[in-house]
Amino acid sequence: MNKNVSSVCDRLREQATDYALMEQAKEYALEYMRGVQDRPVFPEDEAISGLEVFREPLQEEPSDPYEVIKRLHESASPATVAQTGGRYFGFVCGGIAPAALASKWLSDTWDQNAGMFVMSPAAGVLEDVCEKWLVDLLGLPENTAAGFVGGSCTATLCALAAGRNHLLEQLGYDAGKSGLFGAPEIKVVLGEGAHSTIYKSLSLLGLGSERIIKIPTDDQGGVRADAVPELDNRTLLILQAGNVNSGAYDDFESICKKAKAAGAWVHVDGAFGLWAAASEKLRHLVKGVELADSWSIDAHKTLNAPYDNGIVFCRNRDALVKALQMSGSYIVFSENRDGMIYTLDMSRRGRIFELWATLKSLGKRGVEELVNDLHDKAVYFAAALRDKGFQIKNDVCFNQILLSLRDSDSTERALKLVQDSGECWCGGSKWEGQSVIRVSVCSYRTTLEDIDRSVAAFALAREKVLG
Ligand SMILES: *Cc1c(COP(=O)(O)O)cnc(C)c1O
């Protein structure tokens, strides 16, 4: 090797102790935080066109790291969606709790691999701790296992893999070894209002999308308990705690009891809605949910943890681990937690530090108050919108509001005007065949003033559309 030529790695080593670079990144971040409430909630066209600077061939030579982060700050930051402010109501996206963000900055510098205890004892212990905290907080059965994944989509995939393999195993068939080709047929039953990610998981798991038996839903989007088909010991039943449009909950108590008696596996998609279990006031919504076998939930939604923080829970620890392990039934649980045995990934970032920080900073009462606050604000929002002449299409049982104007066309036009106003942002959806606007109150950052300001934007849009 030529010792006189300074290599790229030499330069990287110098940069690794250039703390001013990190200070610069912090400056930019703080500038963003200070302005987030004042920027348009959805980026303006000009900011989006500004992203074109990124579409360039990768240059041959290294760039100055100061220039790299400056480019992001100058060109990407203006095109971000102001989701951490108080007036973002799109999809079901949470904000970011301050301690969680700070913990993310800190733990990013550690860059831990949370795959195995030996790679990161800190991640292993905190995963253990959060597993117990969450099982307790959500009232799930003792010793329920948790896997810390990117989001509900992956959580559902893990849970349904466990359910599928467990049902087959009870029938004397080892799907891990023999694959699905000669397997007894699994019956999949879910509600009409199931989230699209469930279908994705089912198709990835070889369970298809056309063989599914769909349970009709009531006018709120919860499954009709009286319409649940016959269940048996080869049935995978998927219920929902929080319909992505209306927020509606299925009747877990009666349906789970029926499923249990039949030997079916019940999974609950509780992405944002299962958090109601942490609130005394709202717990009635999830009554009986603990009778299920597996659950998926997002901390990056209702809990306001940073992305990407999803959790899969499974009552039967062995079933989850077996489905996600290559080593079949020869599982040895080591004394120390190896997070990878509960997830699809081997290498994973230490997202648990942020989840732990969110929970630790809130405490039980904080989580409960947050959940209640989102509900209260949604109720307030819905009443104000109704006052301004919008139709509210759902019972606001949790944090979701569906609204419309006179018809699909006027609703869509009003939505576009609200989005373009930059005052707030929410998306559209379909409900009973009609276009609707979906408002999700999912951030602790939202104040009543934020809601009033957003409602004013809605009222103005209505006036423009209806004249
Ligand atoms: C958001 C959501 C999902 C998907 O979760 P991701 O975290 O985006 O993977 C699934 N089900 C419901 C009900 C949701 O709201």
Task: Specify the DSSP element, H or E, that contains 103.
Answer: helix 98-108
Structure tokens at 79: 């095109």
The residues that bridge with 267 in the sheet, in sequence order, are 238, 294
Ligand 1 atom showing the smallest separation from residue 308 Cα: 7
Tens of pLDDT, residue by residue over 370-389, are: 999 999 999 999 999 999 99
pLDDT band (50, 70, 90) for residue 6: confident
Tens of pLDDT, residue by residue over 90-137, are: 999 999 999 999 999 999 999 999 999 999 999 999 999 999 999 999
What is the percent of the chain where pLDDT is above 90? 96
Query: What separation in Å is there between the alpha carbon of 335 and the centre of ligand 1?
Result: 33
Domain boundaries, the chain: 3-82, 102-359, 372-466
What is the percent of the chain where pLDDT is above 70? 97
Query: Which fold would CATH assign to domain 102-359?
Result: Aspartate Aminotransferase; domain 2 (3.40.640)
Structure tokens at 195: 């989230």
Residues 427-438 have a mean pLDDT of 97
Nearest to residue 215, comparing CAs of 177, 187, 234, 242?
187
Cis ω for the linkage preceding 226 (within 30 of 0): no
Instruction: Pick one of 3.90.1720.10, 3.90.1150.10, 3.40.50.970, 2.40.160.20 as the CATH number of 372-466.
Output: 3.90.1150.10
Tens of pLDDT, residue by residue over 203-217, are: 999 999 889 999 999
Structure tokens at 21: 């670079």
Structure tokens at 300: 């990056």
Query: What separation in Å is there between the alpha carbon of 92 and the centre of ligand 1?
Result: 8
- Say yes or no to pLDDT of 35 above 60: yes
For residue 210, the model assigns a pLDDT of: 87
Angle at Cα 285 formed by Cα 284 and Cα 291, nearest 5°? 85
Ligand 1 atom showing the smallest separation from residue 155 Cα: 9
Query: What separation in Å is there between the alpha carbon of 152 and the centre of ligand 1?
Result: 5
Q: CA–CA separation, 369 vs 444, rounded Å?
A: 10
Nearest residue (by CA) to ligand 1, atom 7, is: 151
Residues 148-177 have a mean pLDDT of 97
Tens of pLDDT, residue by residue over 213-231, are: 999 999 999 999 999 999 9
pLDDT band (50, 70, 90) for residue 330: very low
- Say yes or no to pLDDT of 267 above 80: yes
Query: What separation in Å is there between the alpha carbon of 21 and the centre of ligand 1?
Result: 36
Query: What separation in Å is there between the alpha carbon of 431 and the centre of ligand 1?
Result: 18
Whether residue 423 has its Cβ less than 6 Å from ligand 1: no
Whether residue 151 has its Cβ less than 6 Å from ligand 1: yes
Nearest to residue 291, comparing CAs of 317, 312, 322, 265?
265
Q: CA–CA separation, 434 vs 304, rounded Å?
A: 31
Nearest to residue 254, comparing CAs of 212, 215, 281, 223?
223
